[in-house]
């Protein structure tokens, strides 16, 4: 079974990846920034690396440091951005492939098949109507991990919204885009598809600085919709 190092700073995505790796891989090491990532790579001999494109530095720069430690390590880039965009940005950079968030078991199986003992793993279940069902299936119906992920989402949401409003007030568009991108995957994992699509469109508008005068209104819409769902989410997972 495989050994994997993961470079990912989104706490919910970290939890999902850990759930996906359980039973599939013998060992994995999680890093929330490049300092931790490079330390793991110096100390371990992993079979492959899962690397968030938007860690605390651009992947192009980070991979140069990684290659100085492991010249031939297979690297898979993780991103919520469309794959075509990331491929273009990574043109000429030595990577094994790209995985688009939100992740699922099928994606992981495909990249670890040469190392994994569980060749017969089934794809993640399709939605059954309940927006948490996909996440429940993704986590192997582990209620403790589900509670942990939802608790992180509920506790982080107010701080994220406050930070977004500050960045809007200060017209800090690159920082706003980075924060919106960071939280977007959480909505996808929780199955909040309508909000996920709305945030995705907003992120694109921010990137191109379109309709900047409407950003506060958009944020309030997303915040209000999220707050209405939080109590329902709390009751669903009993936190």
The pTM score is 0.71
Rounded to an integer, what distance in angstroms lies between the CA atom of residue 188 and that of residue 98?
18
98 with 158, same domain? no
pLDDT at residue 1, as a whole number: 66
Residue 190: CATH number of its domain: 1.20.120
* Residue 154 belongs to some domain of the structure: yes
| pLDDT tens digits along 44-95 | 989 999 999 999 988 888 999 999 999 999 999 999 998 899 999 998 898 9
Q: What is the CATH number of the domain that holds 78?
A: 3.40.50.2300
Per-residue pLDDT of 166-209, as tens digits, reads: 999 999 999 999 999 999 988 888 888 888 889 999 999 999 99
Q: Domain range for residue 58?
A: 2-124
Looking at 90, 124, 158, the residue that finishes a domain is 124
In a domain, 134, yes or no: no
Residue 183 resides in a domain: yes
For residues 209 and 120, membership in a common domain is answered with: no
Based on the fold, state whether residues 115 and 183 are members of the same structural domain: no
């Amino acid at each position: 079974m495989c050994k994997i190092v993961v470079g990912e700073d989104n706490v919910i995505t970290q939890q999902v990846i850990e759930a996906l790796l359980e039973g599939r891989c013998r060992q994995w090491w999680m890093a929330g920034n490049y300092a931790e990532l490079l330390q793991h790579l110096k100390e371990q001999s992993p079979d492959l690396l899962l690397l968030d494109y938007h860690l605390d530095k651009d992947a192009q720069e980070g991979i140069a440091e990684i290659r100085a430690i492991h010249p031939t390590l297979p690297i898979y880039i993780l991103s919520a951005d469309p794959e075509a965009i990331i491929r273009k940005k990574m043109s000429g950079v030595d990577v094994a492939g790209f995985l688009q968030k939100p992740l699922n078991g099928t994606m992981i199986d495909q990249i670890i098949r040469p190392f994994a003992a569980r060749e017969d793993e089934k794809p993640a279940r399709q939605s059954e109507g309940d927006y948490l069902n996909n996440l429940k299936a993704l986590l192997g119906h582990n209620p403790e991990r589900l509670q942990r992920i939802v608790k992180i989402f509920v506790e982080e949401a107010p701080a994220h919204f406050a930070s977004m409003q500050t960045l809007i007030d200060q017209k800090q568009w690159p920082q706003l885009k980075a924060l919106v991108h960071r939280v977007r995957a959480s909505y996808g994992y929780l199955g909040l598809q309508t909000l996920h699509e709305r945030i995705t469109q907003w992120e694109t508008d921010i990137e191109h600085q379109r309709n900047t005068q409407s950003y506060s209104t958009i944020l309030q819409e997303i915040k209000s919709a999220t707050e209405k769902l939080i109590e329902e989410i709390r009751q669903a997972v009993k936190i």
